[in-house]
Structure 1
Amino acid sequence: MESFLVSTSVVGLAEIGDKTQLLSLVLAARYRKPIPIVLGVLVATLVNHAASGALGAWLASVIHPNVMNWAVVASFALMAVWILIPDKLDEEEALATKSHFGVFGTTVVAFFLAEMGDKTQIVTIALAARFHEFYGVVAGTTLGMMLANVPAIYLGHKFADRLPTKVVHALAAVIFVVLGGFALRTALYPDAHPMF
């Protein structure tokens, strides 16, 4: 349950102002059909985060625990800095919303591609490696993505303009620092019972 709750909150906060949330706004403005867009985001997220969670769980099983602990510390520290850098949707990603696949298919393809190498994908890998758990992490990161993107899809630009994204990003950075601190404690004292 802990991995699910941490994954949901971290990804939900990290997604605010992220390029995939911007893509959700573009898709909502272009097509004005929220249900196929929401379903497309869900499918793309599940596929992407399942692959990321599997990679994280696999890495945790093949890399020595001490090395993995330090890698997780580094990944959380990097995410704390990266989250403070605002995302922008580039032209190629915006053009990916023009497709012959219909609203659902276009959303799946565009969202999946935009999520490749994105913050939330990296976080999913790190969380799965940290918690040594696939299902709780993937369910949590997927729920976090949906909690951030569904309102953006339904409420469009009105919603996005009212979010204090700098404050949300700062809060997410603090959470990554805290997670990094717990991971650092585990790396320094591997025999101690992990708090997190």
Structure 2
Amino acid sequence: MNFLTGFTSGLLLITLSELGDKTFFIAAILAMRHPRRWVFIGATAALATMTLLSVGIGQLTSLLPQHYVQAIAVALFIGFGLKLLYDASRMSGKEVLDGEQAEALEVVKQREQGIVLWSARAIVMEAFALTFVAEWGDRTQIATITLASSHHPYGVLLGAIMGHAICAAIAVACGKLIAGHISERLLTTLGGVLFIVFGIITAIENF
């Protein structure tokens, strides 16, 4: 397994999948309410922790027969890709992720209800908790597990963490500014194509 391939796969997949995701908007909304540096630290720490757990789960598959693991990885990548392309085909092209943004706003409002004073530690912990819960069971977590089972684990780990950090930085710096200009259809299409490409690459490398 090649480190660079794992790194590139993790970086591209996470960056495209997380941009405009629920965790992206949670970080953006929190950054409008609190100092950005504490929000960034909390969100990035949560995403890095989730990535570490996902890669660890992916590595547990090494205990299973590898030809089955690789076949499942190929099926998951291509299945995710086809599902995303199907979803994109049903969109009008005018969607700008309003649903994800509204859901993230509701989550933050519920969490902060009744709280007036915030310390730096409280902000970091809030960003960590909200991001971690939102990311658990998300498509990108499953994708990270799948990548780690079929590519270099340290490459995937580093690439995915960097991808998460890039998205978190964009979210806290200018999430509100770009939120209304992100095409959900375009991101969904790109994500679908990328999943299928990874599925093909995994199939070529292992079969």
Q: What TM bracket, shorter-length normalisation?
A: 0.7 to 0.9
Counterpart secondary structure, 2:180: helix
Q: Mark the CA change 1:82 to 1:19 in structure 2 (over 3 Å): closer, same or farther.
A: farther
TM-score of the superposed pair, with normalisation by structure 1: 0.84
Corresponding position of 1:122: 142
1:90 to partner: Cα distance: 5.9
Shift of 1:167: 1.3
1:194 maps to what in 2?
none
Q: 1:176 aligns with which of 174, 177, 195?
A: 195
Q: Which runs of 5 or more structure 1 residues have no equivalent in the other structure?
A: 190-196
Moved more, 111-120 or 95-104: 95-104
Identity of aligned residues (%): 24
Q: Which has the higher contact order (CA 8 A, sep 6+)?
A: 2
**Unpaired stretches in structure 2, ≥5 consecutive residues:** 88-96
Shift of 1:176: 0.6
Q: Which residue of 2 aligns with 1:70?
A: 71
Q: 1:6 to 1:96 in 2, by over 3 A?
A: farther
Contact 2:48/2:164 (<8 A) preserved: no
Counterparts of 2:82 and 2:106 in 1: how far apart (Å)?
25
CA shift for structure 1 position 105 = 0.8
Q: Alpha-carbon deviation of 1:162? A: 2.1
Q: Which residue of 2 aligns with 1:192?
A: none
Structure 1 residue 62 displacement after superposition = 1.1
TM-score, length basis structure 2: 0.80
Across the aligned residues of Structure 1 and Structure 2, the Cα RMSD in angstroms comes to: 2.2
Counterpart of 2:126, as a letter, is T
Check the 8 A contact 2:16/2:187 in 1, yes or no.
yes
Count of residues in correspondence between the two structures: 185
Using the TM superposition, give the Cα deviation of residue 169 of structure 1 relative to its aligned residue in structure 2, in angstroms. Answer: 2.2
**Separation of aligned partners in 1, 2:167 and 2:51:** 15
